Structure 1
Amino acid sequence: MSGTESPRGGSVAAGSASGRGAQGPQSEMARAAIAAGTLPRRWGALYVAEHRTRSMAAYKGTIIATGIGNPVVYLFALGVGLATLVDANVGGAGATVSYLTFVAPALLASAAVTIATEEFSYPILGAFKWNPTFFAINASPISPRQIVDGQMLSVLVRMVPSCIVYFLFMLVFGAVPSPIGWLSILAAVATGMAVGAVLMSYVSTLQTDSGQIALLMRFGLTPMFLFSGTFFPLAQLPAYLQWIGWISPLWHGTELGRVFSYGAPEPIWLTVAHVLYLAAWFVFGWLASRRVTARRLNK
């Protein structure tokens, strides 16, 4: 009598045992897969940051050279060259600090913005188009939001040490008279991340490179450097051009750095406005980058 003729037959029992044996390994594999995805789902941003930081090793020589060379060249040129001429002509006209002391916080903030433009422009477009690592990462348990957060963290890994090195050279050149001058590092990093977050939100929308980034650098970022009170007080500009500085995050970051670096006189409400303005730029860019990236990766 076959096992299928009776629910208690041996054949049915054997089949059930065989089924349990087939399901066992599958269940183990499923549990292992779920366990393997737990950490990426929770700490995905750190995984992305590690990946991007390791990728930076490909051009670490350039990072080190510019991180040390730029402050030396700029501070030496301005401290020994241009500052000598400026101080000789305006030093007796009510100037309270040397020109080098005035311009150093602006150079620090500009260095942070430069790093942000390097890391939040072509590398972001490349991760979507030329080397679509974002799509590969999105196929894992890591979410698009974590991809954006990881990119932000990786830029901080480069930006913060670079700003610290720049500040140390400012100390060597005697350009930081205030005991709380180290806070200008935070002002510079906030400026760089504010610009970088908005830049990332824009670059994330690009489907191809038709010169948009180059145009943005030339007609957006270059005027920002020139009209943000970087090398001279904003008040020296004609009134019809000063508004460019007022809306520029670099001006707000520079002025905030000057308050910390040498105690530049300004009302407290304006200092608070600098902080809030930079925070608004960063939050807007960060949230917009998350939204655009999620929409693009989850099509």
Structure 2
Amino acid sequence: MTPGRQGAVLPPRLSAHAPGVSAVRARKFGSWYYAEHVLRAMRSYRWTLLASSVGTPVMYLFAMGVGLATLVDQNSEGSFGGVSYLVFIAPALLASATIMTAATEFTYPVMDGFKWRRVYYGPHASPLGTHQIVNGHIIAITVRLSLTTIVYFLIIAAFGASPSALGFLAVPVAVLAGLAFGLPLLAYSARLEEDRGQFALVMRFVVTPLFLFSGTFFPLDTLPVFLRWIGWISPLWHGTELGRALTYGYALPPWLAVVHVVFLLALCLIGWRAARSVFARRLGR
């Protein structure tokens, strides 16, 4: 602090970096700068995010995993691999919460960036590259998904629904499942130039069927054969199977675990590359 007139203390003078220095830093750390921007924007509605991302799945946990579980356990003993219905359903609800959050963040906010508030165009006018805007957006949403999933997992663990010591590994698995669904959706959302109800259709005819027919509430092999394909292509089913193996020791062959991981990683890679291509076309490189 610098003394001023009559003993007053003045704040230190701040000086900006030279344009050349700022440009070099932006090119080097631009993805992280944009991620910081997105996360700071989320702070203004953080309580809404917490209520929607955690509150809704917790209500499902109470309704399906606690309330309905009492009836299911009394009448379906042994139907869920020797564990209670609450333990069976908890990893699926964890992955479902992450995927639904990803579906929210990679739809309307993307349209907002291109059309309504056009928030992508300001950073693009700076030294930030298009790929850095895409990467920064993904980093920020990954942070959000991780925080939401951690909180939800702690709630699940408090209910005794994750008896395995490896249960905490279900958190990164759920985040991976969320990104496997969200990144292709990011590429699709970036292609849209007008909102004609496409996102509502995605929620109704993609997200909801995946939630219902991906082995969330009952084993996938109990479905008719003509419906099982929905689970096979669903990131939710792959993430749920891995989560169950981690939270309570569900018998999962090693080769199938590898298939689940490779499938989720492949969707992430395809969606990421497609999103970069669409952003580059719409914003310019």
Q: TM above 0.5, one fold? A: yes
User: What residue in structure 2 maps to residue 269 of structure 1?
Assistant: 255
Deviation at 1:266, TM superposition (A): 2.0
Equivalent residue letter for 1:107: L
Q: 1:69 aligns with which of 47, 52, 55?
A: 55
User: What residue in structure 1 maps to residue 197 of structure 2?
Assistant: 211
Equivalent residue letter for 1:53: L
- Report 1:20-31 matches (<5 A): none
Q: 2:233 aligns with which of 236, 242, 247?
A: 247
Q: 2:135 aligns with which of 132, 136, 149?
A: 149
Equivalent residue letter for 2:77: G
User: What residue in structure 2 maps to residue 161 of structure 1?
Assistant: 147
- What secondary structure sits across from 2:116 in the alignment? coil
Deviation at 1:54, TM superposition (A): 1.0
| Alpha-carbon spacing, 1:92–1:230, altered in 2? closer, same or farther (3 Å) | closer
Say whether 1:297 aligns with 2:247.
no
Equivalent residue letter for 1:264: Y
Runs of at least 5 residues in structure 1 that lack an aligned partner in the other structure: 1-30
| Alpha-carbon spacing, 1:281–1:122, altered in 2? closer, same or farther (3 Å) | same
Once the two structures are superposed, what CA deviation does each residue of 1:73-100 show, in whole Å capped at 9, x if it has no partner? 2222223310011100111557410000
Equivalent residue letter for 1:262: Y
Deviation at 1:67, TM superposition (A): 4.2
User: Moved runs in structure 1, 4+ residues, more than 6 A?
Assistant: none
User: What residue in structure 2 maps to residue 186 of structure 1?
Assistant: 172
* TM-score normalised over the length of structure 1: 0.87
Once the two structures are superposed, what CA deviation does each residue of 1:199-237 show, in whole Å capped at 9, x if it has no partner? 000000011111111111111111111110011100110
Deviation at 1:151, TM superposition (A): 0.4
Once the two structures are superposed, what CA deviation does each residue of 1:11-44 show, in whole Å capped at 9, x if it has no partner? xxxxxxxxxxxxxxxxxxxx93222211111110
Say whether 1:32 aligns with 2:18.
yes
Once the two structures are superposed, what CA deviation does each residue of 1:98-127 show, in whole Å capped at 9, x if it has no partner? 000000000000010011011110001110
CA distance in structure 2 between the aligned counterparts of 1:191 and 1:213, rounded to whole angstroms: 20
CA distance in structure 2 between the aligned counterparts of 1:67 and 1:290, rounded to whole angstroms: 27
| Alpha-carbon spacing, 1:100–1:122, altered in 2? closer, same or farther (3 Å) | same
- What secondary structure sits across from 1:241 in the alignment? helix
- What secondary structure sits across from 1:176 in the alignment? coil
* TM-score normalised over the length of structure 2: 0.91
Task: Work out whether residues 80 and 88 of structure 2, in 8 Å CA contact, stay in contact via their aligned partners in 1.
Answer: no
User: What residue in structure 2 maps to residue 114 of structure 1?
Assistant: 100
| Alpha-carbon spacing, 1:92–1:42, altered in 2? closer, same or farther (3 Å) | closer
The structure whose Rg is larger is: 1
User: What residue in structure 2 maps to residue 134 of structure 1?
Assistant: 120
| Alpha-carbon spacing, 1:45–1:195, altered in 2? closer, same or farther (3 Å) | same
CA distance in structure 2 between the aligned counterparts of 1:215 and 1:92, rounded to whole angstroms: 38
Identity of aligned residues (%): 51
- What secondary structure sits across from 2:58 in the alignment? helix
Task: Work out whether residues 111 and 190 of structure 2, in 8 Å CA contact, stay in contact via their aligned partners in 1.
Answer: yes
Q: 2:91 aligns with which of 80, 105, 111?
A: 105
Task: Work out whether residues 124 and 200 of structure 1, in 8 Å CA contact, stay in contact via their aligned partners in 2.
Answer: yes
Task: Work out whether residues 197 and 289 of structure 1, in 8 Å CA contact, stay in contact via their aligned partners in 2.
Answer: yes
Task: Work out whether residues 220 and 228 of structure 2, in 8 Å CA contact, stay in contact via their aligned partners in 1.
Answer: yes
Equivalent residue letter for 2:183: A
| Alpha-carbon spacing, 1:224–1:115, altered in 2? closer, same or farther (3 Å) | same
Equivalent residue letter for 1:275: V
| Alpha-carbon spacing, 1:113–1:68, altered in 2? closer, same or farther (3 Å) | closer
CA distance in structure 1 between the aligned counterparts of 2:134 and 2:217, rounded to whole angstroms: 34
Q: 1:223 aligns with which of 191, 204, 209?
A: 209
Equivalent residue letter for 2:225: A
Task: Work out whether residues 100 and 207 of structure 2, in 8 Å CA contact, stay in contact via their aligned partners in 1.
Answer: no
Equivalent residue letter for 1:115: T
Task: Work out whether residues 45 and 149 of structure 1, in 8 Å CA contact, stay in contact via their aligned partners in 2.
Answer: yes
CA distance in structure 2 between the aligned counterparts of 1:121 and 1:187, rounded to whole angstroms: 22
| Alpha-carbon spacing, 1:93–1:190, altered in 2? closer, same or farther (3 Å) | closer
| Alpha-carbon spacing, 1:93–1:42, altered in 2? closer, same or farther (3 Å) | closer
- Report 1:190-205 matches (<5 A): 190-205=176-191
Q: 2:72 aligns with which of 76, 86, 100?
A: 86
- What secondary structure sits across from 1:159 in the alignment? helix
Work out the number of aligned pairs and report it: 269
CA distance in structure 2 between the aligned counterparts of 1:188 and 1:98, rounded to whole angstroms: 21
